[in-house]
Structure 1
Amino acid sequence: MRVTIQQKLQKLVGVVLLAGCSLSSWAQEKAFHPGQLWPDNKGVHINAHGGGMLYQKGTYYWYGEHKIEGGAGNLAMVGVHCYSSKDLYNWKDEGIALTVSADSTNDIAKGCILERPKVVYNKKTKKYVMWFHLELRRQGYKAARAGVATADRVAGPYTFVRSYRPNPGKVPVYPVGTADSDKVNCDHPKTKAEGYFCRDLPGGQMARDMNVFVDDDGKAYHIFSAEENATLDIAELTDDYTGHTGKFTRVYAGHSTEAPAIFKRNGIYYMIGSGTTGWNPNPARWFSAPSIWGPWTYHGNPCKGEGAQITFGGQSTYVLPVAGKKDAYIFMADKWTPKNAIDGRYLWLPIEFKGDDIEIHWKDTWSLDDFKN
């Protein structure tokens, strides 16, 4: 009989309890172990893949895709899972924040593809807003939609609002100094990527791998792979964070970037992403810009050392600024296991700064004390 990861971890919990130790004392981790099983407060491997973080009032909230056993585990059979932590090492299961629908006609019907959920808090509306990449049930990756849900409580329940393709009928903005010859002209598309953009212009751009970023001024942005994953779009969200304003820019057009993770340091915008090789890892890539609108400069692979060419086996999902520490940013990545999706592992590694450049090195074990401040 096949033994699941949960059963293995629960058996381990039972052994510890029989030895006279409490679960709370057993669970108190004080370090990160990239790529290893990561049990929550119940002794179950954390189930929050392709995830993102929200920090509020001294607590971190981790939202991610809830996977199930087997090859069908990459379909959304449950929803978005939420966990909470005070220290980033030890996580409490907060339950399912967004539940997929039993109604097969619903956009988020059980069996759809719901990926890379990210949650932000809107100070004006007092609402928590979740964005995610959505593919409609039994349609493969044809729909390429952005989905949005809201909640009054940080851990939910979240209520699905709608899904759609962003910015129909809208053309991108360009960094100052961009030549007219470098702008998209749908009368004469110059590249395959521009052809995809023009094809999708009436109904809105494709929106797959994604992230959400809230800037210092409170404005929020949706970053997603568009144009058959050939190009990244950075799109401004409305003041309530539940829609798009129509203002967006294209980044690294035609070079197939997905898994975007964006952050800001010393007034510079940074973004880490990956190439497009399905579930298989590839070299990470990073960009920087003086403005959210660009120009964005490509800098190559931030990973260094053995395993760098496959991002140590992972793919970016989020960059987390550590509260209360200067220049402390954690690169969060997923190590996918598509044949048994629930066994996906998490690769969290510290980002090192060399002036305004970044590097990521592998560490078998590390802690927040590794950051200098």
Structure 2
Amino acid sequence: MPPYEYAEHGKISPGKLFLDQDGKVAQLHGAGIQQFDDTFFAWGEDKTYGGTFGGVACYSSPDLATWTFHGHSLPVTEDVHELAPGRVIERPKVLRNHNGKYVMFLHVDSSDYSDAKVGWAISEKPEGPYEFLRAERPLGNISRDIGVFADDDGTGYLLSEDRDHGLQIYRLSDDYLSVDSIVSTTLAPESNHPLGAHGYESPAMVKVAGLYYLFGSDLTGWSTNDNKYSTAEAPSGPWSEWEDFAPPGSATHDSQISTVVSVKGAQDTCHVYVGDRWIREDLFHSAPVWLPIHISDGKASLAWTDEWTLNAGTGTFTA
């Protein structure tokens, strides 16, 4: 085993592992993060069993650096087919709907990735426990890596990698429990996909000053690549040409995007890139690469910093 590096308590050190309140490695892989009141909640893939389902681990934090483990929001469950041992559950993401219920979205799959479905679960509390509802292909389309986004008016969107057609943006029903329609489909340029369609995976979306920013990763398996972003004045597009947001050739500082968190404070709003540095042979110890990302005037840029802290109250960070 290689020597693992751990972030100092209260600080974010890209490429170093977070520890929880008990000194255990925080399982924040493929994480979804939301801020509810003064607390961040994060849901991550527990990689205890490598590439197969080990539970959706839930953590809370005041600063994205100090983590308290709340157990599994969604545990391995032998009598539920989709959650049984040996299955694949990835990219847990959560939205709070207008009824105050917490809706969890999941990439649900078989070990050979032939199911390619979206799963739904629901809870009265952010940490759970969540009741698993169902898994399906949205509007009949395959779905692997996912992201979610809630607009200012509460409209919910599911972002889904559908390599048969491209990166899909779906409008969700009012309660977020089903898919209503396809809003837009975007393709990666110069696709080499045998069917001619190729959309970015691990999608994320944020809205800044009325402009929508869509992020995604190329399809290179566990290997990292230069992730891209596109902009539009509405989720329906038209979307701009895809561009790098990290230095070209850096493979997004050797990471893959999972989500972008908007931190609205009393002084400012900052944004946090949440990425993963996958170690295929040891997914449990795959390190987080979380960095401040500058988003403004139609441009996004991600610069490296060895260590930084977030002040969620002010919406600012210190490198």
* Contact residue 18 and residue 65 of structure 2 kept, 8 A: no
1:58 paired to 2:1: no
The structural deviation recorded for 1:108 is 2.0
What is the match of residue 368 of structure 1?
Answer: 310
1:292 maps to amino acid: P
Corresponding residue pairs, total: 305
Return the alpha-carbon distance in structure 1 between the equivalents of residues 63 and 143 of structure 2.
33
1:115 paired to 2:90: yes
* Contact residue 77 and residue 83 of structure 2 kept, 8 A: yes
Among 30, 36, 47, the alignment partner of 2:27 is: 47
The structural deviation recorded for 1:28 is 7.8
What is the match of residue 190 of structure 1?
Answer: none
Return the alpha-carbon distance in structure 2 between the equivalents of residues 57 and 353 of structure 1.
23
Higher helix share: 1
The superposition leaves residues 239-285 of structure 1 with CA deviations (integer Å, 9 ceiling, x where unpaired) of: 11110113432112634311111100000000111100000001110
What is the match of residue 51 of structure 2?
Answer: 74
SS in 2 for 1:74: coil
Among 96, 106, 109, the alignment partner of 1:135 is: 109
Q: Where do 5+ consecutive residues of structure 2 fail to align?
A: 189-196
SS in 1 for 2:264: coil
* Equivalences for residues 10-25 of structure 1 within 5 A: none
Return the alpha-carbon distance in structure 2 between the equivalents of residues 28 and 123 of structure 1.
38
* Equivalences for residues 217-366 of structure 1 within 5 A: 217-228=153-164, 231-252=166-187, 254-304=197-247, 308-324=249-265, 326-353=268-295, 355-366=297-308
* Contact residue 132 and residue 146 of structure 1 kept, 8 A: yes
What is the match of residue 89 of structure 1?
Answer: 65
Return the alpha-carbon distance in structure 1 between the equivalents of residues 293 and 209 of structure 2.
15
* Contact residue 222 and residue 234 of structure 1 kept, 8 A: yes
What is the match of residue 148 of structure 2?
Answer: 212
SS in 2 for 1:292: coil
The superposition leaves residues 316-369 of structure 1 with CA deviations (integer Å, 9 ceiling, x where unpaired) of: 000001131524000110011110110111001111245321110111112236
The superposition leaves residues 192-237 of structure 1 with CA deviations (integer Å, 9 ceiling, x where unpaired) of: xxxxxxxxxxxx0011110110100001000010134x61000011
SS in 1 for 2:252: helix
* Contact residue 213 and residue 230 of structure 2 kept, 8 A: yes
Return the alpha-carbon distance in structure 2 between the equivalents of residues 115 and 89 of structure 1.
22
Bigger radius of gyration among the two? 1
1:312 maps to amino acid: H
The TM-score normalised by the length of structure 2 is 0.90
The superposition leaves residues 143-174 of structure 1 with CA deviations (integer Å, 9 ceiling, x where unpaired) of: 1100000011110000100000011xxxxxxx
* Contact residue 28 and residue 288 of structure 2 kept, 8 A: no
2:108 maps to amino acid: L
**Cα distance, 1:67–1:55 mapped onto 2, change above 3 Å:** same
The superposition leaves residues 34-71 of structure 1 with CA deviations (integer Å, 9 ceiling, x where unpaired) of: 00121111111111210111211211000010111xxx
| Identity percentage of aligned residues | 33
1:133 maps to amino acid: H
1:321 maps to amino acid: S
* Contact residue 183 and residue 235 of structure 2 kept, 8 A: no
The structural deviation recorded for 1:311 is 1.1
1:160 maps to amino acid: F
1:264 maps to amino acid: K
What is the match of residue 17 of structure 2?
Answer: 37
What is the match of residue 164 of structure 1?
Answer: 136
SS in 1 for 2:82: coil
Higher strand share: 2
Runs of 4+ in structure 1 displaced over 6 angstroms?
Answer: 2-5
